[in-house]
Amino acid sequence: MNLVKDAAGAITIIHVDEDRLDAAVAIQFKDSFRALVENGAGPVVMSLEKVEFLDSSGLGAVVAARKLLGVDRRLDLASLQPAVEKVMILTRMNTVFTIHDDLQQALEAYGAARAS
């Protein structure tokens, strides 16, 4: 599972550099996510622009990632592909997560500078 960590001010950005987030990679995704955010503070924005497929296990992994952050840290999602956005809407996860059209919009919502 290839996750890339970046930052914009106090915001941690996690880029999911995979085309699928499914049962085959869900556990590895959670472990990689935990390793990248465990010592951080502040909100996390997860960019899903490369993810073209998300199944129930992948969705469960994203929800688990949110829970890993605890109650003091937010997890927003950005740059969802149409198929992933459809899953979020059908499961009503769009009411649980703040979803931004793109990474820049997410950063602006936090008043952060442009992503590098």
Per-residue pLDDT of the chain (116 residues; tens, 9 = 90+): 899 999 998 999 999 999 999 999 999 999 999 999 988 889 999 999 999 999 999 999 999 999 999 989 999 999 999 999 999 999 999 999 999 999 999 999 998 765 44
With respect to residue 115, please indicate whether it lies within any of the assigned structural domains: no
The answer as to whether 37 is a domain residue is yes
- pTM for the model: 0.92
Which domain range does residue 33 map to? 3-109
- Total domains in the chain come to 1
CATH assignment of the domain containing 86:
3.30.750.24
DSSP string, 14-75: EEE--SEESTTTHHHHHHHHHHHHTT--S-EEEE-TT--EE-HHHHHHHHHHHHHT-TTS-E
Q: With respect to residue 94, please indicate whether it lies within any of the assigned structural domains.
A: yes
- Give the span between the Cα atoms of 91 and 76, in whole angstroms: 16
